[in-house]
Amino acid sequence: MTNRRFPEEPTYDPNKVLDAIIERLQLKNDAALSRALEVAPPVISKIRHRTLPIGATILLRMHEISDFSIRELRAMMGVPAVSISLNA
């Protein structure tokens, strides 16, 4: 099994978004965050250590519980906004 890190962006920092949600919800720690997000505590640890990316499902759950917009959450992570061109 390989130990991959996601994504390879040099500015990617999932800790910023996790810490911002903890602050916004006035949570005590990562265990409380995992309960709020309804994920197992190791998921938060893997995200913090960059061995698991923040996927769409967790991103949506973060949005639901924090009222941060998806754009704000992605900006906090250091992931650029996705622009979609409708011109073919």
Write out pLDDT tens, residues 23-54.
999 999 999 999 999 999 999 999 999 999 99
- pTM comes to 0.79
Confidence at 82, pLDDT banded by 50, 70, 90: low
3-state secondary structure 49-66: CCCCCCCHHHHHHHHHHH
Report residue 12's pLDDT band, with 50, 70 and 90 as the boundaries. Answer: confident
Nearest residue to 78 (alpha-carbon basis) of 2, 21, 15: 15
Buried b / exposed e along 65-85 (16+ C-beta atoms within 10 A):
ebebeeeebbebbebeeeeee
Contact yes or no for 54/14 (Cβ under 8 A): yes
